[in-house]
Amino acid sequence: MSHEITPLDTEHPMVPGGELDPETFEALREALKDMKSKVEAHLFIEDKCYYCVETRKLLDSFVEASPGVNGEKLFSYKLYWLNRDRSVAAHYKVNRAPTVVLAEGHVRYLGIPSGEELRSFVETVIRISEKETGLEPESKRKIRSIKKPVHIEVIVTPACPYCPYAVLLANMVAYESYINGNRNIISDMVEAYENPDIADKYRVMSVPAIAINGILAFIGLPYEGDFIDRIIDILEE
């Protein structure tokens, strides 16, 4: 399942950004009730960046909507300027704005997670807070066996209905590695219109498009087992 990129998708400002309407905010509040522990994100922005402003608004909404324990919100974030906080950006290997970092840099969102992509961000935050990926036992076993570095790029557009599932799958593969101590897998959501050079690099015409270590591996949403097997195959090539 994939979504063809159309001219309508280029009207990125038409897709809901940081300002959530009351109904969406209440749905977010209800979803975040499933959080079990604290999740801290890192947001990298730069001056004169429209989507940086919108992403900051969005994360503010997450803070407000998240449950509190002992007077502290379970979701929080730290704000950095890309051109000023260079040592922090280098630590997390961030060179684009806006970028949202989770799981100490092993899960990253390159561009605002708006529109359909909001769903993957919500679910990723919840699963990180639960410290559970939801992957199949066999998938977890295979991920534990991966010892080489893996960089996953999931190229998306906000209007794509299949992209959130692909991003969530990639994020959970990276997070499964992270919580098992390997910490050698990085998952990037790449918003195509904010990062056209990456989309052009892989000649993306439909999304989700998934690259593994610089190799375009999937167009469309893969099955969990096929996705992990492809990672292993690429590492063995």
Task: Please give the pLDDT value at position 164.
Answer: 97
Q: State the Cα–Cα distance between residues 49 and 71, nearest whole angstrom.
A: 33
Contact predicate 12/211, CB 8 Å: no
Give every residue of the chain whose pLDDT is below 50, as ranges: 5-16
Task: Please give the pLDDT value at position 1.
Answer: 55
Tokens of 188: 């990037």
Task: Please give the pLDDT value at position 21.
Answer: 87
Contact predicate 114/54, CB 8 Å: yes
- Phi/psi for 215 (5° steps) reads -110, 125
Q: Is the peptide bond before 137 cis (omega within 30 degrees of 0)?
A: no
pLDDT in tens, 125-164: 999 999 999 999 999 999 999 999 999 999 999 999 999 9
CATH topology classification for 3-236: Glutaredoxin (3.40.30)
Residue 189 sits at the vertex; the CA angle it makes with 24 and 94, to the nearest 5 degrees, is 115
224-236 and 163-179 helices cross at what angle (nearest 10)? 60
- Phi/psi for 162 (5° steps) reads -95, -20
Residue 141 CB contacts under 8 Å (≥ 6 apart), including other chains: none
Delimit the domains of the chain by residue range: 3-236
Contact predicate 199/155, CB 8 Å: yes
